[in-house]
Structure 1
Amino acid sequence: MLTFTEAQLMGWITPVLWPFLRVLGLFTTSPLFSTRAIPVRARIGLAFLIALCAQASLQGQPTVALDSPAMLGALVQQVGIGMAIGFTVRLVFTAVELAGEVVGLQMGLNFASFFDPMSNAQTSAVSKFMSNIAMLLFIAINGHLTILMAVMKSFDAFPIGGSLMQALARARIHELGADLFASALWIALPMIALLLFANLTLGVISRVAPQMNIFAIGFPVTLVAGLAGITLTLPMMEQPLTMLMEQMMVRLAGGR
C-alpha cells in the first residue's frame, strides 16, 4: 500500500501550483488568451500543462508551504505578476488601437463605430481593423510563445515569495503610459501626414475654385487617401510591434 506524507504532497504540489497561478493570471488579461473564443476550462487546462512542462526550467525556486502565513502573499504575488504581464501585452495592442482611432478621426470614419462583443467596448472600424492585423502579426512573429517565455523568465527576476509591489516597481509598468501614446503616434504619423496633405490640397482647391462643392468631394478624397495610407503602412507595422514586444520583455525581466 502506497503512503504519502504531508511533506511529500507539498513537495509535489507547490512547484506546480505557483507557476500555474502565474500563467492563469496571464491568461486573464493577455490579448489572445483572454478572448471569449477560448473556454475557461481550456485556459485552466492549458495553464496547468504549461506549469507542468516548465518544471525542468524552474529548479531552485523558494518553497512556500500552503499552511504557512506567507502562502496568501505568494498567491497574490503570482496572480498579480501574471496579470501584470498580460496587461503589458494588452498595452502593446492598445497602442495600435489608439493609432487606428487617430487615423479614423482624420479619415472621418470614427462615426462608423460598433459594439465589439469580444472586448465589451465601442470601437471604430479602422481601430478594429488595425487591431486584427496586429493580432495576426502577433501570432505570425510567435508573440504568444514570447509572452509564455516571459512568464517563465519572470521567475528569475521575481522569484516566488517576494513582494508584489516591489516586482511592479522594478518592472516600471506605470511608465508605459507615455510609451503607449508615443508608439501610437509613431504608427499613425505617416497616415496623419498623408491626410493632412490631402486636406491642405482640398483647402487650396476650395480657394482657387469656390464654385466647386468641396464638401461633396472632400470625404471621398480623404477616405481614398486614408485607405491608400493604411495599405502602404501595413507592411511596416512589424517593426514598431516587434520593438514594443522587446521593450516589454526587457521590463518584465527586471531590466532598465
Structure 2
Amino acid sequence: MATLNIPLDAFYGVLLVFLRVAAIVFSAPILDAATIPVVFKAGLAFAVSVLMLPVVDVFVSTADLSLMTFVIGIFSEVAIGVTIGLSVKLLFTGIQMAGQIVGFQMGVAMANVVDPASSSQIPILAQFYNLTAMLVFLAINAHHMFFTALVDSYRVLPPLSLHMNPQLVDMMMRLAANTFVVAIKVGAPLIAVMLVVSVGLGLVARTVPQMHIFIVAMPLKILIGLVFMMIVAPYLTAFLIDLFSSYRVTLFDLIKIMALGR
C-alpha cells in the first residue's frame, strides 16, 4: 500500500500560506458574500495557496518550534489576511454609506432590499452604489491587488514575523475614518443637489402656503435625484476607478507597517 510522507516543516509552511490566503478570501469584498458557498471559498483559497508555493518562501523549521509559537503563528497569519481584506472592505462600506445618505436626502430610505453579502436589509440606493462599486472593481481588475498583496506580504512579512504596534492601529483607524470621507465624496453631487432642492421647496412653502408641499416634495425629490444620478454616473465611475487604483499603494503601506519591528 502506497503511503504519503510529508515533512512536518513543509506541512506547516503550506498551512501558514493557506491560512493567510483563506483569511483574505473570507474577508475580502465580493468573496465574503454569504451567497458564496464556504466549500467554494475554501477550495479557492487552497488552489491559490498551491499556486503561490513556487513564488513565495515559506520554509519554517519546526525543530525548535514550541506549541505556543505554533499557535501564535497560526493566529498571526489569520490576522494578516483579515487585516488586508478588511482594509479594502472599508472602501465598500464608505460607498454603501454614500448610498444611504443620498437615499435619506431623496426620501427613498424606507425602500429596503436584502443585501446578499450580509443577509440584512439595506436602503435600495445603498445597494445600487455597492453593486456599482463591485462592477467597477471587477471591470478594472482591481481584485488582482489581493494577489499582489499576498506576494508582497510574504516578501515583506514572512511567516512568524507579525508585530503588533501602535502604527498599525493608527493606520486602521485612519482607514476607518476615511470611510466617511469616501462616503461624502461619492455622494457629494447628489447631496448638494438635494440640499438646493430642499431650500427651494422651503421657499415655495413660505411663499405659497396653499400648496401641499409634502405631497409635491417627495416625487419631485425622487425625480430630480434619479435625473442627477444619471448625469453624474460617468463621473462616479471615474472616481471609483481612481479610488481603487490608488488604493494599491495604501495596501502596500499597510503591509510594511505590519512588518515594522521584526
- TM-score between the two structures when normalised by the length of structure 2: 0.86
Uncovered stretches (5+) of structure 2, i.e. residues with no partner? 258-262
Task: Tell me what 2:137 maps to.
Answer: 138
Residues 79-98 of structure 1: pairs in structure 2 closer than 5 A:
79-98=78-97
Q: Spell out, residue by residue over 1:138-194, the C-alpha distance to the aligned partner (whole angstroms, 9 max, x if none).
A: 111112222222122112232211135249828822221221111110111111011
The amino acid across from 1:13 in the alignment is F
Name the CA distance, whole Å, in 1 between partners of 2:211 and 2:163.
Answer: 64
Task: Tell me what 1:250 maps to.
Answer: 252
Conserved? CA contact 2:113–2:127, under 8 Å: no
Deviation, structure 1 residue 112: 1.2
Conserved? CA contact 2:13–2:59, under 8 Å: no
**Deviation >4 Å, runs of 4+:** 1-5
The amino acid across from 1:205 in the alignment is V
Partner secondary structure for residue 237 of structure 1: helix
The reply on whether 1:63 has 2:60 as its aligned counterpart is yes
The amino acid across from 2:12 in the alignment is T
Conserved? CA contact 1:92–1:241, under 8 Å: no
Conserved? CA contact 1:31–1:90, under 8 Å: yes
The amino acid across from 1:26 in the alignment is I
Conserved? CA contact 1:100–1:126, under 8 Å: yes
Task: Tell me what 1:179 maps to.
Answer: 178
Conserved? CA contact 1:62–1:159, under 8 Å: no
Partner secondary structure for residue 121 of structure 2: strand
Residues 21 and 63 (structure 1 numbering): CA distance in 2 closer, same or farther, change over 3 Å?
A: same
Name the CA distance, whole Å, in 1 between partners of 2:138 and 2:63.
Answer: 37
Conserved? CA contact 1:62–1:161, under 8 Å: no
Task: Tell me what 1:101 maps to.
Answer: 100
Residues 186-201 of structure 1: pairs in structure 2 closer than 5 A:
186-201=185-200
Root-mean-square deviation (CA, aligned residues, Å) is 2.7
Residues 23 and 201 (structure 1 numbering): CA distance in 2 closer, same or farther, change over 3 Å?
A: same
Conserved? CA contact 2:25–2:85, under 8 Å: yes
Conserved? CA contact 2:136–2:237, under 8 Å: yes
Residues 147 and 14 (structure 1 numbering): CA distance in 2 closer, same or farther, change over 3 Å?
A: same
Conserved? CA contact 1:171–1:251, under 8 Å: no
Q: Spell out, residue by residue over 1:31-51, the C-alpha distance to the aligned partner (whole angstroms, 9 max, x if none).
A: 211223322121111111111
Deviation, structure 1 residue 211: 2.2
- TM-score between the two structures when normalised by the length of structure 1: 0.87
The reply on whether 1:17 has 2:18 as its aligned counterpart is no
Deviation, structure 1 residue 223: 0.5
Uncovered stretches (5+) of structure 1, i.e. residues with no partner? none
Conserved? CA contact 1:81–1:164, under 8 Å: no
Please identify, of 176-185 and 164-173, the stretch whose mean Cα deviation from structure 2 is larger: 164-173
